[in-house]
Amino acid sequence: MEILPLHPLLDENQDGSKQNKHYDSQEEPCILTMEKKRTVNQLLGWSLINQDKYWCRLGEKDDPDQEMGKIEAYKRYHNTLKGLVIKDPTILEMTAVKAYERHGIEWRY
């Protein structure tokens, strides 16, 4: 059985369990729900805003290492989407799920 790559916004602990369990509180992973509703262009902006948010509050709310991890996750996500747009600019106004389908990408959420 093929193990799908982990979605770029998610992180795993060394034992393989997810660090981002709060994304799994609904029927389907929250990230997947958002990617079905939002365009790649919208998600690119969202990922940049979240990076800024964690930079601005670094060390003020949560552990700085934890917040740096979030910044890195949003950078990974942004770079993943940006890489798809570089290959295929027509996906900007598609939902992320449709863009993944077009490029044969499947994630483990």
The C-alpha atoms of residue 81 and residue 50 are separated, in whole angstroms, by 15
Residue 53 has what pLDDT?
Answer: 95
Residue 76 has what pLDDT?
Answer: 95
| pTM score | 0.85
Residue 72 has what pLDDT?
Answer: 94
The C-alpha atoms of residue 55 and residue 40 are separated, in whole angstroms, by 23
Tens of pLDDT, residues 14-31: 555 555 665 566 678 889
CB 47 within 8 A of CB 77: yes
Spans of all domains in the chain = 39-102
Spatial CB neighbours of 83, under 8 Å, sequence gap ≥ 6: none
| pLDDT lower than 50: segments of the chain | none
